[in-house]
Chain A
């Protein structure tokens, strides 16, 4: 039996070496994405986003205000104009993400204590950029107001402590757990790069199996395996398992050892979860192939339609808890969702694994579930022909 397994593995490796598409998809693409996403988001948090400044007053007072605004971390004024229309058009052309507007009469209002109104416009069709700019702007606006009061109080002879106790009595100190710099790259890369690898695994699993039917060799394979379905399947998939595990581990090493992304549980532990994720994705692909036995195209279509959705349903950018109930349920069938929660628990937060055991179990179930439907594959080996 081991001999049969070994023969099938060798046969599979020969197929890989003959078809360049396998090598491109299995090795070049995942490593390419690793390079792409880590260099794309190198800065961690986008800074110095372009914004426009509309200064309708253009006096020394407003210029002082704009100098303060110019020190903001996220904002860079790339455009200064007296006309709001011009700034809005720049926004519609996509040149700026936000407009800061100091209306006519601001100086007068400041000098005569008549409560000037300053407006800030963000383009919320660019969500992340707008959120970052809005946060910056809120901080600055609050600070600008406070600074004015502070000057008055200093003039009246208050100490700085007393002043701060008056103008900002309650201070909110925020602690984003596990990622104190709010580094987008850390979490996003950790979701997308393994996620893409997992999508590739699902697709190639059903592709490699379907290829047998396509070339009309499914019976030959079945006989090679000594008429044992599970030997045939394991022989076909084991070379991929090894290859993908190595790639997954390479990703882990690049993330946690080379780029020093936070990893509270140690690299070796993450490698274990990586192995589990690889197997679970193969299980998912196999399950799809069992759902459409012998029909490579249908299985691959199902894998791709569902596989692309798993990025949304993993819940990093938009949380699963905010989605409608059916989608919260649906998210549970995806290996990426479970892997991501395990990653957050283990690497980001460093909690005990017992808190996410349902997700570990879910991955194991995805690995084992295909075994239940082996009979469908056996039937496919014997009775089903390839349909284009």
Chain B
């Protein structure tokens, strides 16, 4: 070749014009990355469960038990939706899913407290969702601790000054700080990983479909039998560039627009984001090209790639803590860019980490990009040889 840039440009234009004409590919590379983040953000937009209906069985009926119930009702987490006279009645409401928890105050609640004994309050939670248990437990334990302090100070200890009273309440003060997701919300936790996963999955689906179609059209070959498709490097770079540029746009759409529209944390600087997206998208593109070379029909890629999304999210270690994942599965996860990409993006965008803080992830992404790039080159070298053999024979 005299002009080495020419074949790249040619492949690039070819691929671009092909995908623009193909409705099936457009769904996955345009519609999916644009619409899916919005959908997911809307699902989790409420961030947390508020005013979860629970019912109360008050076997004590004293001023103190009513005070306890009122305080529980006043929390933002739960609301007392029903007062039942017996546990049987409460259980029935729970089975009917009218309430998601039962708070039971025992018969001698007030009397025991006046006698200076411990009184045990029962909390029964429905486990359809783990969040139900969490919010109910938080609401009740907060109220109980508050009342405990009052009882301790007012009824058992004689304090002379207000300062002494305060000390008796809180011998040590504790400060709880939720970093990087101060509301403890679900969207801020789940959406950033999902965004990165969508990028990778959409890329795999788009590239897979395009390659499957080539194979269908050119009798099992992934490249058209024209003279421009003789240079491995040009093909791999040209094809990769199409998806790389397009998904760079999508990545910034997610990191800037989606994140801003839904008020998700974004602490990253432009250059940090860019420094992360370049290796991540390169690794994704070439992984997609490599795996797609095993696809012989365009619809097969949907079968192969779609259901990987959920396991990949788990392997990344954002939901199930990465420290608790067995080494075997950590090794499996290391093969996919999403595992590293999700962790790096969460830190860069959500926690304001610098690129240096994510050195390990970025290195892994560059290594993956390099390995998949080489593998893709081998695939195309093999395919070119096959194509040449065929043209000679045919």
Residues in A neighbouring B302, C-beta threshold 8 A: 203, 207, 297, 300-301, 304
Q: Given A165-B118, A319-B128 in contact, is the A29-B318 Cβ separation under 8 Å?
A: no
Identify B49's interface contact among A42, A175, A321, CB under 8 A: A321
Q: Do A115 and B174 touch across chains, with their CB atoms under 8 A apart?
A: no
Contact yes or no, B179 A122, CB < 8 A: yes
- Given A125-B188, A134-B176, answer yes or no on A301-B116 (Cβ-Cβ < 8 Å): no
A124: nearest chain-B partner, CB-CB: B181
Which of B43, B134, B315 is close to A327, meaning CB atoms less than 8 Å apart? Answer: B43
Q: How far is the CA of A296 from the CA of B286 in the complex (A)?
A: 27
Contact at A210–B299, with CB atoms within 8 Å? Answer: yes
A196 contacts chain B at the CB level, 8 A cutoff: yes
Within 156-196 of B, Cβ neighbours of A (below 8 Å) are at 156-157, 166-168, 170-182, 184, 186, 188-190, 192
Q: Is B122 touching A175 in the complex (CB atoms < 8 A)? A: yes
In the assembled complex, the Cα of A296 lies from the Cα of B52 at a distance in Å of 43
A250 at the interface (CB under 8 A from B): no
Query: Is A117 interfacial (CB-CB < 8 Å)?
Result: yes
Q: Is B129 an interface residue (CB 8 A)?
A: yes
Shortest CB distance A64–B (Å): 13
Residues 152-180 of A, flagged 1 when their CB comes within 8 A of B and 0 if not, give: 00000000011011111111111111110
* B117 adjacent to A165 (CB under 8 Å): yes
Closest CB in chain B relative to A81 CB, distance in Å: 16
Distance in Å: Cβ of B345 to nearest Cβ of chain A: 10
Q: Are A173 and B120 in contact (CB under 8 A)?
A: yes
Structural contact, A165 and B52, CB atoms closer than 8 A: no
A residues within 8 A CB of B318? Answer: 125-127
Docked complex Cα distance between A30 and B216 (Å): 28
Interchain CB contact under 8 A, A297 and B311: no
CB pair B152–A125 under 8 Å, yes or no, is no
Closest Cβ of chain B to A328, distance in Å, is: 10
Count chain B residues whose beta carbon lies closer than 8 angstroms to a beta carbon of A. Answer: 114
Look across to chain B and name the residue whose beta carbon is closest to the beta carbon of A110: B172
Chain A hits for B180, CB < 8 A: 123-125
The 8 Å CB contact of A148, one of B49, B121, B172, B350, is B172
A272 within 8 Å of B (CB atoms)? no
Given B100, B120, B182, B351, which contacts A91 in the complex, CB threshold below 8 Å?
B351
The minimal Cβ–Cβ distance linking B81 to chain A, given in whole angstroms, is: 12
CB of A41 closer than 8 Å to a CB of B:
yes
Which one of B49, B140, B303 has the greatest number of beta carbons of chain A within 10 Å?
Answer: B303
The answer to whether A172 touches B141 (Cβ under 8 A) is yes
User: Could you tell me the distance in whole angstroms from the C-beta of B236 to the nearest C-beta in chain A?
Assistant: 25
> Residue B291 at the A interface, CB < 8 A?
no
In the bound complex, residues from chain B placing their C-beta under 8 Å from that of A116 are 172-173
* Chain A CB within 8 A of B242 CB: no
Report the separation of the CA atoms of residues A125 and B182 in the bound assembly, to the nearest whole angstrom: 9
Complex: how many Å from CA A192 to CA B308? Answer: 12
A242 interface contact, C-beta 8 A: no
Interface of chain B residues 269 through 317 with chain A (CB within 8 A)? 297-300, 302-304, 306-307, 309-311, 314-315
Give CA–CA (A199, B122) in the complex, Å.
40
Q: With A169-B119, A176-B133 known to touch, is A388 a contact of B213 (CB < 8 Å)?
A: yes
A-B contact pairs, 12 of them (CB 8 A): A125-B181, A126-B321, A127-B181, A128-B320, A145-B174, A169-B119, A169-B152, A174-B125, A301-B28, A301-B302, A318-B43, A321-B52
